[in-house]
Amino acid sequence: MSGLHDQKERAEWVEKAKTLSEALPYMRRYTGATFVIKYGGHAMGDEAVGATFARDIVLLKQVGINPVVVHGGGPQIGQMLERLKIKSSFVDGLRVSDRETVEVVEMVLSGTINKQIVTAINTAGGFAVGLSGKDGRLIEARKLMRVRRETDSNIEKVLDLGFVGEPSRVNPHIIETFTASDVIPVIAPIGVGAEGETYNINADTVAGAVAAALRATRLLMLTDVVGVLDAAGKLIADLSLSRARSLIAEGVIKGGMIPKVETCIAAVEGGAGAAVVLDGRVEHALLLEIFTPHGVGTLIRKE
C-alpha cells in the first residue's frame, strides 16, 4: 500500500513539474511586464479564494511580472452604511455619495478592505503597500455628471450624484517607483479633486485608467462571470475593439457587462496592450489566463 501511495504522490509531483515547465515560455514572455488587476466581487467575500488570489499575486511578482491591484468594495460599503443607518441610493449603478456617505466609502475602501488585501499578500510572502488615489495625487478626479431624459416631456435633466467622480488624470510616477522595486501596489478607487475634495470612483473605471496610464501589458478584470458571452451564451475567447462595439450595439453584450467591456475598450485605446474579462471565482484564474496557451476569459485587443 505504501508503494502505491508513493507512486501516486510521485505522479502528482511529475504533473506539477510538467505544468511549471509548460508555463516557462509565458514567464519569459512577460518578464518585466506590468499587469493591472481589478479585484472584487465574489473573490473578495471568500477568505479561501482571497488567500489563493494573494499567493498568485506574489507568484507573479516572483517570476518577474509587475502586478498592480485595484480593488472595489461595493457590498462592504453597503453593509457599513446599513450599520451606521445612512441611507443611500443608486443611479445607473453608481452610489449617490453625499459628504457623509463618501466619508464612509473612503473609510471602508482605503481602510478596511485595502489593508485586508495588503495583509493577505504580505502573509503570502509578498511586500504589498496600500494606496488610494489621494496618495501623491495618484488619481486626480472631477465630478461625474449624469443626464437623464424625461420620458413624458423629453427634457434632459442633469442628475447630481454628489461626490461621485471620474479620473481626469492618473499620475503613474508613484506606481512606477513601486513596480521598479519589490513592492506590490494595492490601490483603493478614491480620487482627489482640484480643491482636495474626496471622490468615490467606480473601481473598474480606475483600473482601466491606471492600465492606460501605465501602458500596461494587460488589464485583467476579475468578475463573477466566465467572460463575454455570445448570443448563444457561449464564451467568446477573443474580441477586437470593433467587434466588441458591434456586440454592444447589437445587444449581445448587455447589462452590467457593457460598462466592463467599455472600460476594457478605453484602456486598450488609451495605451494598454490588451484587456481580459475573466471569472475571479475560478481557482488560480490569473495563472490560468497568463501561463496557458488559451487563457480562461475573453481577450479584448486592438484590430
Average pLDDT estimate for 63-70? 95
In whole angstroms, give the CA distance from residue 48 to residue 256.
26
Would you give the distance in Å from CA 254 to the centre of its chain?
Answer: 19
- Residue 150: the pLDDT is 62
Q: Return the number of other C-beta atoms located less than 10 Å from residue 281's C-beta.
A: 16
**With contact defined as beta carbons under 8 Å apart, do 232 and 245 qualify?**
no
97 secondary structure, DSSP code: B
Do 173 and 214 contact (CB within 8 A), yes or no? no
Radius of gyration of the chain (CA): 20
- Extract the C-alpha cell encoding 299: 481577450
Q: What are phi and psi of 131, to 5 degrees?
A: -135, 160
- pLDDT, one tens digit per residue, over 14-52 is 666 766 667 677 777 889 999 999 998 656 767 788 889
C-alpha–C-alpha distance, residues 78 and 222, integer Å: 20
- pLDDT score, position 152: 64
Number of Cβ within 10 Å of residue 19's Cβ equals 12
Per the confidence metrics, is the pTM higher than 0.85? yes
pLDDT at 148: 66
Per-residue pLDDT of 157-211, as tens digits, reads 667 788 899 999 999 998 999 988 999 999 999 999 999 999 999 999 999 999 9
What are the residues whose beta carbons fall under 8 Å from the beta carbon of 234, sequence distance 6 or more?
A: none
pLDDT band for position 94 (cuts 50, 70, 90)? confident
- In CATH terms, the superfamily for domain 30-227+262-291 is Acetylglutamate kinase-like (3.40.1160.10)
β pairing state of 128-132 and 184-188: parallel
pLDDT tens column, 119-158: 999 999 999 999 999 999 999 999 987 766 666 666 666 6
Average pLDDT over residues 57-62: 94
Angle between the 203-214 and 257-270 helix axes, to the nearest 10 degrees? 20
pLDDT (mean) for 3-24: 68
- Counting Cα atoms < 13 Å in the Cβ hemisphere of 202 gives 21
pLDDT digits (tens, 9 = 90+) for 211-259: 999 999 999 999 888 899 999 999 999 999 999 999 999 999 998 899 9
Q: Which residues contact 267 (CB under 8 A, 6 or more apart)?
A: 207, 208, 209, 211, 212, 216, 219, 275
CA distance 65 to 62: 7
Provide mean pLDDT across the span 69-78. 89
pLDDT for the residue numbered 156: 66
Q: What b/e string do you get for 137-167 counting C-beta neighbours within 10 Å, with b at 16 or more?
A: bbbbbeebeeeeeeeeeeeeeeeebbbbbbb
In this model, does residue 69 exceed pLDDT 60? yes
251-302 pLDDT, tens digit per residue, is 999 988 999 999 999 999 999 999 999 988 888 889 988 888 777 899 999 9
